[in-house]
Chains A and B, each alone.
Chain A
Amino acid sequence: MISFLEEWSFFGGSILLILIGLYGVITKRNLIKILIGLSLMDTGVNVLLVSLGYVENGNAPILTSIIKNNSGAFVDPIPQALVLTAIVIGVAILALGLAVTIKIYEKYGTLDISKIRGLKW
């Protein structure tokens, strides 16, 4: 059981996080909750990417006065750099989404997407 958790809590858990976020985006009608769903999906992708580069008993990829040379085991630095980029993009998306949400609330007085007249055709 423990080994199953160790092996699948990162891959399986992050995929579960993506799916929970997607479910939230599809079913919720409140704009803020949709943004929370998007943010959850973002986090899931980030966890999945970082766990793809994990090495058992690997050190953080930084040379310090304790880990002096590069012959030891390190976790993969490239997914970490990629995730740093993804986090910043996530912040940008969230901020812009919130700004649009504020404007929508000012115009229509509601956050419920089924009551926003501009979205109907």
Chain B
Amino acid sequence: MRFRNILALVLVVILGFFILQAFNISPEEGQLVIDEFGEAEIENRTAKLYINKSVNSSNQKVVYAESKNLESGSANMVTSVIANYRSLDTLGEVTVLFLAATGLGAVLYSNKKKERNFIVDEGSLILKTGIKILFPLLILAGAYIFIHGHLTPGGGFQGGAVIATAFLLKFLADREYELAEHKLKIVEVIAGISFVGLGLYGLYTDGSFLSNFLETGTIGTLFSAGIIPLIYVSIGLKVGAELTSIISNLIEA
């Protein structure tokens, strides 16, 4: 037992030494060059194109609430990467989350209704009363976060997580609370289909999957950035429904 711990420690230290070596390879000898902390040169990175909102021209000026019809009209550059430039990645990511939720349901599925062999404490009065007020507000906050994903920090995944938190609090307050799973599935399926449908419509009109087929509008306004808000709304609903079903499955298990 003791010997195994020491062996693991030695192994881990050796691995750490080799990882640290990767930061010290000089530009002349090795290929790998990692910028010093805080001195990343954005000018030389792909990110510069995304900050300039143009993949072709190198130095485009973008002004908040003035520039119109940009390549990607989202004020939040992380959003423009996730939901526009690399939205195919995001489709894959949503698929992974869907697979995990489905797999979790399949693993935990059992025919017989289990009776709990442990005593579950009732939620306190403060928790129960608080949830009644907080629940709609949390749903609203989640919806705000994913609808404004192209303007403010946040987006579909974060908003979905906030919505799932609202349902988690509901589960904590009332142990008898049961969700209608099929309603969650309906929301999830509609959101997923609308994401893929937006992509296919882009394929039909512009010839490339998930291309931005709407006007991008003025940067910084709510109705801008083309299909990015639509994609983020569908992602937000899908992630919210999936995380809620994960929580509900784990609590019932």
Residues of A within 8 A of B (CB): 6-8, 10-12, 15-16, 18-19, 22-23, 26-27, 51-56, 58, 60-65, 67-71, 73-78, 80-81, 84-85, 87-89, 91-93, 95-96, 98-100, 102-103
A13 to chain B, nearest CB (A): 11
Tell me the nearest residue of chain A to B7, going by C-beta.
Answer: A26
A54–B220 Cα distance when bound, in Å, is 24
Interface centre among A51, A64, A67 (most CB of B within 10 A): A64
Instruction: Given the known inter-chain contacts A27-B8, A62-B76, please indicate yes or no for A7 contacting B153, CB distance below 8 A.
Output: no
Tell me the nearest residue of chain A to B36, going by C-beta.
Answer: A7
Q: Is the beta-carbon distance between B153 and A62 smaller than 8 angstroms?
A: yes
Q: List 22 A-B contacts (CB under 8 A).
A: A19-B15, A26-B11, A27-B8, A53-B40, A63-B62, A68-B63, A73-B42, A74-B47, A76-B45, A77-B47, A78-B47, A84-B78, A84-B82, A87-B157, A88-B97, A88-B239, A92-B97, A93-B100, A99-B104, A99-B107, A99-B250, A102-B250
B178 at the binding interface (Cβ < 8 Å) = no
A69–B20 Cα distance when bound, in Å, is 37
Q: Is the beta-carbon distance between A77 and B81 smaller than 8 angstroms?
A: yes
Which residue of B64, B153, B249 contacts A68 across the interface (Cβ within 8 Å)?
A: B64
Which residues in B have their C-beta under 8 angstroms from that of A19? 12-13, 15-16
4 nearest A-B pairs in the assembled complex, by CB-CB distance: A92-B100, A61-B77, A56-B38, A81-B81
Beyond the given A6-B38, A87-B157, please list 4 additional residue pairs across the A-B interface where CB-CB is below 8 A. A8-B37, A22-B15, A27-B4, A77-B50
Which residues in A have their C-beta under 8 angstroms from that of B53? 70
Instruction: Given the known inter-chain contacts A7-B37, A52-B35, A102-B108, please indicate yes or no for A89 contacting B96, CB distance below 8 A.
Output: yes
Tell me the nearest residue of chain B to A53, going by C-beta.
Answer: B40
A64–B4 Cα distance when bound, in Å, is 54
Tell me the nearest residue of chain A to B50, going by C-beta.
Answer: A77
Chain A facing B: main interface SS: helix
A51 to chain B, nearest CB (A): 6
Q: Is the beta-carbon distance between A103 and B61 smaller than 8 angstroms?
A: no
A24–B63 Cα distance when bound, in Å, is 49
A1–B101 Cα distance when bound, in Å, is 46
Which residue of B23, B50, B101, B103 contacts A11 across the interface (Cβ within 8 Å)?
A: B23
Tell me the nearest residue of chain A to B75, going by C-beta.
Answer: A63
B181 at the binding interface (Cβ < 8 Å) = no
Which residues in B have their C-beta under 8 angstroms from that of A74? 42, 47, 51, 77
Interface centre among B12, B45, B65, B243 (most CB of A within 10 A): B12
Which residues in B have their C-beta under 8 angstroms from that of A27? 4-5, 8
B38 to chain A, nearest CB (A): 4
Instruction: Given the known inter-chain contacts A22-B12, A100-B107, please indicate yes or no for A61 contacting B78, CB distance below 8 A.
Output: yes
B219 at the binding interface (Cβ < 8 Å) = yes
A64–B153 Cα distance when bound, in Å, is 11
B175 at the binding interface (Cβ < 8 Å) = no
